[in-house]
Structure 1
Amino acid sequence: MDSGGVATPALAARPLRLEPFRALMLAPGRIGAHASARAFARPYHDVVERFAAWQRSGQVREDDDAALYLHEYTASGVTVRGLVGALDLTRTTSQPHEAAVYPHEGVHPARAAELADRMAAMALNPAPILLTHRAPATLRALLREIRRATADHQFTDRSGQYHRVWAIRSPDELVAIAGMLEDTHAVIADGHHRYAAYGHLRTTHPELAPATDAGLAMLVDQDDTPLYLGAIHRILHGLRFGDLEDLGPPLGPDEAVAALAPDVLVITDGHSWATLPVPRVGDRLGVERLHEDVLPHLARSPSSIGYAHSVDDALRAVARRRGLAVLMPAPEFGDVLHVVERGRLLPEKATSFQPKPSVGVLIRSLRAAPGAHD
């Protein structure tokens, strides 16, 4: 996975540590607004000035004291909760069994460097990366007790997401949480390039140290309020049915989609439909078989590969431009965890963890160190 301009992010070593920080938060009326999301996206030359203007006009609040935060958000009827803190990056390892955080995709170094420069210019981690893990029952029970109190912040944002946020500052609770997280194995659900950018910041922007010893992260318990794990379908531009071997007999659309399984992919050009068996070899997933065993051995390679998050989007893609849609099964979280614990990375865009929280609920400044008492 290190070839072709794609690299493996550094592995943060155990124990996993989420440090308290002083959160910045946009005004509820700004969270979820398209203008707010665009403010942190490219082009970003005016982000610093825009954010400063929001601060001057009272549309950004900053906590007086550092905390860990329990953030609960509900989108389209799905509720997700996670601990938000400054993820300690000072210890790294090359050994998967020693890792606290597992990437499941490679990253493009140039993009990670660009994101690092953007965060340095803003002096902010504008949004947490999403990590997911299987929390111990003791942590789940403690967070349940914390949720019995009235939330420090409770609102519905402009996009319709409903948020509740609790600030955790009790020394006893912070010590207890730290102990419960020591053996955590967390998988990056969203934010691989931002995670890599955190490491890049440490080496290229010493003027922001020691704040760059950590990066903003949200740790979600996949056994409590799981992120939905969806498939990302492939569009093989320029290919036709005759370019693929070992296809099953022609099927109707409904019959083909019903046959989709971990070891069966579905191929369509929008008119014809067939299955492509990818029998499991060892512990490799269907998406690995496709990219490592099927595509490299085609007599003619696709001119490019596109991606679609729904069957309808995949069908629209092949209607606009000649090609084949490869409908993929949704991976299971346990399978993804199994892959990364063995030191492997999945092909690019192998997973889609949803829903993601709106940008602006919790922001971390890089003007101060991440310690519990700043």
Structure 2
Amino acid sequence: MDFETVVAPPYVAKPLTLLPFTAVMLAPGRVGDPASARALARPYRDVAARLTRWIDQRRASTDTGPAIYLHEYTSNGLTVRGLVGALDVSHRAESLADRAVWPHEAIHPEQAGELADRMLQMDLNPAPILLVHHGAASLRELISQVARSRPDWRYLDRTGQRQRIWAIRDDEVLAEIASHLSEARCLIADGHHRYAAYLRLQENRPGTPWDTGLAMLVDQLDTPLFLGAIHRTLAGTTLAALAQAAREVGADVVEQGRRHALSALDSTHLVLTDGSTWHTVEPRGLEREAAVSWLHDRVLTRLTPAAGTIAYHHNVEDALAAAGTTSPAVLLPSPDFDQVRALVEAGGLLPEKATSFQPKPSLGVLMRPVTDG
């Protein structure tokens, strides 16, 4: 299977539309439980029947009717809330101005196809993709009003996340939400391949419940997701080769001690290390280019021989643990949300695994049986 092929997924057109759906929810004690995740795995064709059994056994439940849900979760002191609904993906944008959903990373078509096949067998969207936007103040006030009321569900899950969920069914409130979202532009924070799978399923089954896919829309001006870097280790090259490639494209590369190198990691510097030797790297022009794009487009393309497998790490400690003489680590600065949004709205894309939006909600809080619409 050729996972080297990457393409930009299509763009969903305005108006951004979140539709009510009837949620299935795991019992609080099973939300985030690794055993629950395994139950949503192979054989995928058995998942729908398995969920039905779980509902009969009170290990899961189904809501009484369709709603758009306000979902708020707190993890390690950080609270995120957003609207969860069935995202209409049935219309494609024909221009930049028409785009409602903006991917910021390219995808592997084969991986998206596998996910589409999996969801089709499951008859289920098992988790929402995460979308972020800058919402209007009036929408934030409406969400705050909902959040001041008593939640329909409230519990602490197996991972320690605190969950609060409100089912929004009032026609007037739903109409107001729809009006606020109609001109919204949102960035995909998590779930690029699932988003592409939604589009593939919709193209293959237009006019069915697959015209929509489960999504959670978070306002970065309200309860922002933390935007962190994803670091790299590069198999098959050396620290010296990596540092030389950075110099060749005009970066200032300075050998430092560990403490000084790590303290220099900021919006204008990267760090290269094999665990023993440390370099700070100051590229030129990062105010116009994301550090991760500079690394992939300018530096890695100059390596001879080319780097082998790239491993990805969501924290510095994991990257340093994997670093070695033939797998140097590249520690990247955290991306800036406004810079990422400006880049993609100008038609650009970041390399794969360029951003890490955290925290993500636990698995099993809100799922969407597709056969129910």
Give TM-score, length-normalised by structure 2: 0.93
Q: 1:48 to 1:365 in 2, by over 3 A?
A: closer
Task: Specify the code of the residue in structure 1 equivalent to 2:105.
Answer: E
Counterpart of 2:125 in structure 1 is 125
Q: How much does 1:4 deviate?
A: 4.1
Deviations 1:293-349 (A, max 9, x none): 111122321122111111111111114x72210110000111111111011110011
Report matched runs for 1:344-355 at 5 Å: 344-355=348-359
CA distance in 2, matches of 1:13, 1:239: 43
| 8 A Cα contact 2:90 2:202, kept in partner | no
CA distance in 2, matches of 1:150, 1:282: 45
Counterpart secondary structure, 2:317: helix
Report matched runs for 1:35-184 at 5 Å: 35-41=35-41, 44=44, 46-184=46-184
Counterpart of 1:303 in structure 2 is 308
| 8 A Cα contact 2:238 2:328, kept in partner | yes
| 8 A Cα contact 1:127 1:360, kept in partner | yes
In structure 1, runs of 5+ residues without a counterpart are 370-374
Q: How much does 1:289 deviate?
A: 0.9
CA distance in 2, matches of 1:281, 1:115: 35
CA distance in 2, matches of 1:150, 1:115: 36
Deviations 1:8-42 (A, max 9, x none): 11101111110111111111111111111222345
Counterpart secondary structure, 2:217: strand
Report matched runs for 1:191-202 at 5 Å: 191-202=191-202
Of 219, 224, 230, the residue aligned with 1:221 is: 219
Report matched runs for 1:278-297 at 5 Å: 278-280=283-285, 283-297=288-302
| 8 A Cα contact 1:263 1:280, kept in partner | no
CA distance in 2, matches of 1:24, 1:109: 29
Of 242, 248, 253, the residue aligned with 2:253 is: 248
Of 261, 267, 276, the residue aligned with 1:271 is: 276
| 8 A Cα contact 2:48 2:124, kept in partner | no
Counterpart of 1:316 in structure 2 is 321
CA distance in 2, matches of 1:356, 1:156: 15
CA distance in 1, matches of 2:41, 2:192: 16
Task: Specify the code of the residue in structure 2 equivalent to 1:298.
Answer: L
Deviations 1:53-111 (A, max 9, x none): 21231222222221110000001111000000010112111422211010011111111
Counterpart of 1:360 in structure 2 is 364
Q: How much does 1:43 deviate?
A: 6.3
Task: Specify the code of the residue in structure 1 equivalent to 2:223.
Answer: T
Q: How much does 1:50 deviate?
A: 2.8
| 8 A Cα contact 2:44 2:121, kept in partner | no
Counterpart of 1:372 in structure 2 is none
Task: Specify the code of the residue in structure 2 equivalent to 1:264.
Answer: H
CA distance in 2, matches of 1:334, 1:281: 14
| 8 A Cα contact 2:4 2:108, kept in partner | no
Task: Specify the code of the residue in structure 2 equivalent to 1:24.
Answer: V
Give the aligned length: 364
Deviations 1:222-262 (A, max 9, x none): 11111010111111112223213226232011111122233
Counterpart of 1:235 in structure 2 is 233
Query: After the TM superposition, which of the residue ranges 95-104 and 162-171 deviates more from structure 2?
Result: 95-104
Cα RMSD after superposing both structures: 1.7
Query: After the TM superposition, which of the residue ranges 41-50 and 342-351 deviates more from structure 2?
Result: 41-50
Of 317, 340, 346, the residue aligned with 2:344 is: 340
CA distance in 2, matches of 1:261, 1:168: 42
CA distance in 1, matches of 2:16, 2:150: 28
Counterpart secondary structure, 1:302: coil
CA distance in 1, matches of 2:56, 2:189: 34
Q: How much does 1:164 deviate?
A: 0.5
CA distance in 2, matches of 1:170, 1:239: 59
Q: How much does 1:355 deviate?
A: 0.4
Q: How much does 1:275 deviate?
A: 1.5
CA distance in 1, matches of 2:304, 2:119: 44
CA distance in 2, matches of 1:205, 1:30: 32
Counterpart secondary structure, 1:50: helix
CA distance in 2, matches of 1:20, 1:4: 37
Give TM-score, length-normalised by structure 1: 0.93
Counterpart secondary structure, 1:361: coil
Deviations 1:263-301 (A, max 9, x none): 321100000001222211672211111111111122321
Task: Specify the code of the residue in structure 1 equivalent to 2:264.
Answer: A
CA distance in 2, matches of 1:306, 1:105: 17
Percent identity over the alignment is 49
